[in-house]
């Protein structure tokens, strides 16, 4: 059997491992941390279970499609329920908007704020659906090896309908005037790595994913998905090695011959690097075999990092739903402080997840599990004092906007920011969400999944195609596994990589 090493056990690494094991490869996943999941790990403490990263389960079709390849359903591993209302938006203490599940009910919300806008929303959603379908069918599963992949008649014929050359900001304003509706539709863009002014309107597909496909929740938390995927991988024969940081990729004659792990060298025919691309290139490969140099990385536009607080609260909190967005401050200033003038935000927007509202297993009886996330520019220094300043600022706003005292009931408080992303995941500039999805960093313009200088090394994860987010990371794992399998099958026996003894 041909041996494959996968570096990293995030969504992309586990996904690639499953596809490769199904094809008959002998796959071992090496993970530096003591548990799988990467940015989607969980934290168990004092009876609370925190999802450390993702909390929005969007695009359920992608998860279904992944499991279907192995004759399985998501429900074989975890139970999904729809979150309704999907989320609450706080514009001020007495101005709150609940976005319900189901597009017809979202139309009612739009109509109340801007009479006549529900018809526009339906048109907007129809266009978003078209982009979503084109994206899923013709774009996201492409390996990004050449511009020719985009030269598909269906894609080219319909390119004007994808609004690739128009910004989200302009596009949304063509349909809606009410500032709250505009803000609601612009918010998903914040996590794609650009301001609404420079993210292509193609990404209104995210609004379709949000408002038409719905916000789902795997009972027990997002980590159930990781556990399900690990269970599937193990059943396919994948081996997981934790506390196994890869220290070096040993290259000889343009081939990755082995990995140095805990000071021992292990040999493999192929290597799939599912750790952050920048780390793999700049720290694991010799300079002579890197595809990109430091200057290249410095010019990349990264998606945001985050300052997060995981809080255990010893009483029930009112006025919060499972997902809550705090839009009581200026969106464009915060966006500029992430992308144009990277700095700690003056008055940040923030997101609060209180999953114990949907799932009592995540906190002790009568307690709440609270996760506060402030999107911030990557590359900032996150000293203790800064974290404390933003903790005070967000808790004060949270207390005012929800009309209750919270601070005195906090029994557990852990913060997480840039330096933790770097220490835990070797994240470039402490990024949380990988590489930005700007037009110039899309498809074949992203860091490539292959490296001609090391022909049996492949890259996957949120810094390559198709981009950041759980569904794209799962897709990325599939894309890279298919490319590895394709190359393996097309090599004649004498060119298949040999084990270095």
Binding site for ligand FAD (CB under 6 A): 7-13, 30-33, 38-40, 53-56, 245-246, 274-275, 279, 306, 308, 373, 425-426, 432-434, 461-462, 468-470, 473
Burial of 87 (0-12, 13-18, 19+ CB in 10 A): buried
State residue 305 phi and psi, 5-degree precision. Answer: -95, -170
Peptide bond before residue 466 is cis, with ω within 30 degrees of 0: yes
Could you tell me where the beta strands, DSSP code E, fall in 100-176? none
Three-state DSSP at 485 gives helix
- Select 107 or 140, whichever has its Cβ closest to ligand FAD: 140
DSSP 455: T
What's the closest the beta carbon of residue 32 comes to ligand FAD, in angstroms? 4
Contact 323, 83 (CB under 8 A): yes
Q: In whole angstroms, how large is the CA radius of gyration of the chain?
A: 22
Give the residue with the Cβ less far from ligand FAD, 190 or 470.
470
Distance in Å, CB of 322 to ligand FAD, minimum:
12
How many Å apart are CA 276 and CA 12, to the nearest integer?
A: 11
DSSP 8-46: --SHHHHHHHHHHHHTT-EEEEE-SSSSS-GGG-EEEET
Q: How far is the CB of 330 from ligand FAD (least distance, A)?
A: 23
Name the minimum Å distance from CB 280 to ligand FAD. 8
Phi-psi region of 178 (alpha: psi -120 to 50; beta: other; left: phi over 0): beta
* Minimum gap (Å) between residue 349 Cβ and ligand FAD: 15
Provide, rounded to whole angstroms, the least separation between the CB of residue 402 and ligand FAD.
Answer: 21
Nearest approach, Cβ of residue 382 and ligand FAD (Å):
14
User: Given the complex with ligand FAD, which of 107 and 206 has the nearer CB atom?
Assistant: 206
Distance in Å, CB of 424 to ligand FAD, minimum: 6
Nearer to ligand FAD, 200 or 469 (CB): 469
Cβ 118 to ligand FAD, closest distance in Å?
Answer: 27
Output 218 or 469, the one with its CB closest to ligand FAD: 469
Q: Between 271 and 317, whose beta carbon lies closer to ligand FAD?
A: 271
- What is the closest distance, in whole angstroms, from the C-beta atom of residue 12 to ligand FAD in the complex? 3
The beta strands (E) that lie in 68-134 are given as 80-82, 87-92, 95-99
- Contact, 325 vs 351, CB < 8 A? yes
Q: Are strands 3-7 and 270-273 parallel, antiparallel or unpaired?
A: parallel
Closest distance to ligand FAD from the beta carbon of 468 (Å): 4
Q: Which is nearer to ligand FAD, 6 or 107 (CB)?
A: 6
Identify the bridge partners of residue 258 per DSSP, sorted by sequence position.
Answer: 250, 267
β-strand pairing of 239-241 with 26-30: parallel
Count the Cβ atoms, other than its own, within 10 Å of residue 407. Answer: 14
CA distances from 99 to 127, 350, 389 (A): 20, 17, 31
Q: Which of 117/224 has CB closer to ligand FAD?
A: 224
Instruction: Please report the sign of the dihedral spanned by the C-alpha atoms of residue 48, residue 53, residue 55, residue 60.
Output: negative
- In the block, tokens 């109509």 appear at 111
> What is the spatial distance between Cα 462 and Cα 469, in angstroms, rounded to a whole number?
7
CA–CA separation, 295 and 293 (whole Å)? 5
Please, which residue, 136 or 373, has the CB nearer to ligand FAD?
A: 373
CA distances from residue 88 to 322, 359, 422, 425 in whole angstroms, order as listed: 8, 17, 32, 31
Q: Which is nearer to ligand FAD, 118 or 462 (CB)?
A: 462
> 54 or 258, CB closer to ligand FAD?
54
């Amino acid at each position: 059997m041909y041996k494959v090493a996968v570096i990293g056990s995030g969504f992309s690494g586990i996904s690639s491992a499953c596809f490769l094991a199904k094809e008959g490869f002998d796959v071992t996943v090496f993970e530096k941390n003591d548990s799988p999941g990467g940015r989607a790990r969980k934290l168990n403490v004092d009876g609370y279970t925190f999802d450390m990263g993702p909390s929005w389960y969007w695009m359920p079709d992608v998860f279904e499609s992944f499991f279907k390849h192995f004759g399985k359903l998501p429900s074989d591993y975890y139970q999904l329920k729809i979150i309704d209302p999907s989320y609450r938006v706080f514009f001020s203490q007495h101005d709150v908007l609940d976005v319900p599940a189901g597009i017809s009910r979202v139309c009612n919300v739009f109509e109340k704020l801007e009479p006549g806008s529900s018809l526009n929303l339906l048109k907007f959603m129809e266009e978003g659906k078209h982009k979503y379908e084109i994206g899923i069918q013709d774009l996201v599963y492409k390996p990004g090896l050449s511009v020719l992949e985009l030269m598909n008649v269906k894609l080219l014929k319909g390119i004007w309908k994808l609004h690739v050359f128009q910004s989200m900001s302009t596009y949304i304003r063509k349909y809606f005037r009410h500032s709250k509706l505009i803000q609601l539709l612009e918010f998903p863009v914040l996590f794609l790595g650009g301001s609404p002014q420079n993210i292509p309107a193609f990404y209104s597909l995210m609004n379709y994913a949000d408002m038409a496909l719905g916000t789902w929740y795997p009972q027990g938390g997002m980590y159930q998905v990781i556990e399900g995927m690990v269970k599937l991988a193990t059943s396919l024969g994948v081996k997981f090695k934790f506390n196994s940081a890869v220290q070096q990729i040993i290259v000889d004659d343009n081939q990755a011959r082995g990995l140095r792990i805990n000071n021992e060298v292990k040999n493999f025919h192929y290597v799939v690097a599912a750790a952050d691309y920048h780390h793999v290139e700049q720290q694991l490969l010799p300079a002579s075999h890197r595809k990109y140099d430091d200057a290249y990385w410095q010019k990349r536009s990264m998606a945001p990092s985050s300052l997060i607080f995981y809080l255990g609260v010893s009483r029930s909190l009112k006025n919060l739903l499972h997902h809550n967005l705090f839009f009581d401050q200026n969106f464009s200033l915060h966006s500029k402080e992430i992308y144009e003038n990277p700095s700690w935000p003056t008055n940040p927007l923030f997101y609060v997840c209180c999953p114990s509202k949907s799932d009592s297993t995540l906190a002790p009886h009568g307690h709440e599990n609270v996760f506060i996330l402030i999107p911030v520019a990557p590359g900032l220094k996150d000293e203790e004092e800064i974290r404390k300043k933003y903790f005070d600022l967000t808790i004060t706003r949270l207390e005012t906007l929800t009309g209750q005292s919270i601070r005195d009931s906090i029994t557990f408080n852990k913060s997480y920011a840039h330096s933790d992303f770097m220490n835990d995941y070797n994240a470039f500039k402490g990024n949380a969400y990988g590489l930005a999805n700007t037009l110039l960093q899309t498809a074949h313009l992203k860091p490539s999944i292959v490296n001609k200088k090391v022909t049996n090394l492949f890259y996957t994860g949120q810094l390559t195609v198709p981009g950041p987010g759980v569904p794209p990371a799962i897709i990325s794992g599939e894309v890279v596994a298919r490319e590895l399998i394709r190359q393996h099958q097309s090599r004649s026996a004498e060119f298949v990589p040999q084990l270095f003894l």
